[in-house]
Amino acid sequence: MIKLPETKTFLFDGPAGRLQALLDMPRKVEAGAAAVVCHPHPEHGGTLENKVVHTLARAFVGKGFAVLRFNFRGVGESEGAFDEGRGETADALAAVGEMKERYRGKPLWLAGFSFGAAIAIRAAAEVRADGLVSVAPAVSRVAGAGGPQPGCPWLVIQGDEDDLVPAGDTIEWINSLEPGPELEIFPETGHFFHGKLVRLREAVETFIDENLKKTGR
C-alpha cells in the first residue's frame, strides 16, 4: 500500500519576492535527505503541479526525502515576472537555501523537467548538490553555456520521440561533457511522458537507491 506524503503549503522569500511552495514529506518518519524539484517553462503552462514534477517528487518522498516543489517567479502565487532563466536560477538557489535551512546536514538533491531541468543543472553546479535528476532537459539553455557541470551523481532521462527536446540533441550535448551524466532513453516516449510516469518514477527510485548505497547516506 502506497503511503501518501504529508504536504504543507507555504511561501518563502525569493530574490524577486515571495515564492509559492509545496513541501512533501514522508509520513511518520524523519526525512533522511532533501530535494528541490523545478517545473517546466512558466510561459508554456509549467507549474509545480505538472505531472512529471509531481512524479519526481513522489519518487524522492518514497525514498525518504523531504521535497520542495515551488513556482518560479510570476507563476501562481509567486511574485515577480519571467526572467528568461536568469532569475529562475536565482529562484532555485533560494529554494535550495530554504531546504538547507530546514534540513541542515542532510544530503541535498535537485531535479527538474524540461526548462526546470536546465535550471536545476545550473543550480546543482553552483551549490554542489549531492545528486541530480534531469528529465528531458532543455538542452538549448545549458549546451555551450560555459559554466561548470555538476560534479554529483547525475541522471538524464529522455524520450526517444520527444518533439520539443530531440533525443539526438540531448545525446550530442551529453557526449560533449566529461565525465557527464548517466543517460536513460525511454522508447516510444514523447516530451510529456504520457503513459510512462510509473516507469519514470521507478527509474528515478533506482538511481536514488544506487547512489545512496554508494555514499552510505
Residue with cell 517567479: 73
| CATH assignment at residue 154 | 3.40.50.1820
Q: Is residue 74 assigned to a domain?
A: yes
Domain that holds residue 71: 6-211
Q: Is residue 19 assigned to a domain?
A: yes
Please count the helices (runs of H) and the strands (runs of E) in the chain: 5, 8
Mean pLDDT of all residues in 182-187: 98
Q: Is residue 1 assigned to a domain?
A: no
Amino acid at 5: P
Q: Which residues face 22 on adjacent strands?
A: 9, 69
Residue 2 has pLDDT above 80, yes or no: no
Under 8 Å between Cβ of 111 and 132: yes
Q: Is residue 216 assigned to a domain?
A: no
Give me the pLDDT at residue 64, please: 96
Q: Is residue 217 assigned to a domain?
A: no
Give the model's confidence band at 217: pLDDT under 50 very low, under 70 low, under 90 confident, else very high: low
Mean pLDDT of all residues in 178-182: 92
Under 8 Å between Cβ of 100 and 124: no
Q: What is the pTM of this model?
A: 0.95
Q: Which three cell numbers stand for residue 31?
A: 526525512
Q: Which three cell numbers stand for residue 144?
A: 555551450
Q: How far is Cα 182 from Cα 152, in angstroms, rounded to an integer? A: 11
Q: Is residue 79 assigned to a domain?
A: yes
Give me the pLDDT at residue 1, please: 47
Give me the pLDDT at residue 144, please: 67
Q: Is residue 59 assigned to a domain?
A: yes
- Express each pLDDT in 97-154 by its tens digit: 999 999 999 999 999 999 999 999 999 999 999 999 999 999 999 876 667 889 999 9
Q: How far is Cα 175 from Cα 139, in angstroms, rounded to an integer? A: 12
Percent helix / strand / coil, the chain, rounded to 5:
35, 25, 40
Per the structure, the count of domains in the chain is 1
Q: Which three cell numbers stand for residue 59?
A: 519518487
- Express each pLDDT in 33-86 by its tens digit: 999 999 999 999 999 999 999 999 999 999 999 999 999 999 999 999 999 999
Strands 182-186 and 17-25 turn out to be unpaired
Give me the pLDDT at residue 212, please: 85
Say how many Å lie between the first and final Cα of the chain, rounded: 25
Residue 216 has pLDDT above 70, yes or no: no
Hey, is 57 helix, strand or coil?
helix
Q: Is residue 135 assigned to a domain?
A: yes
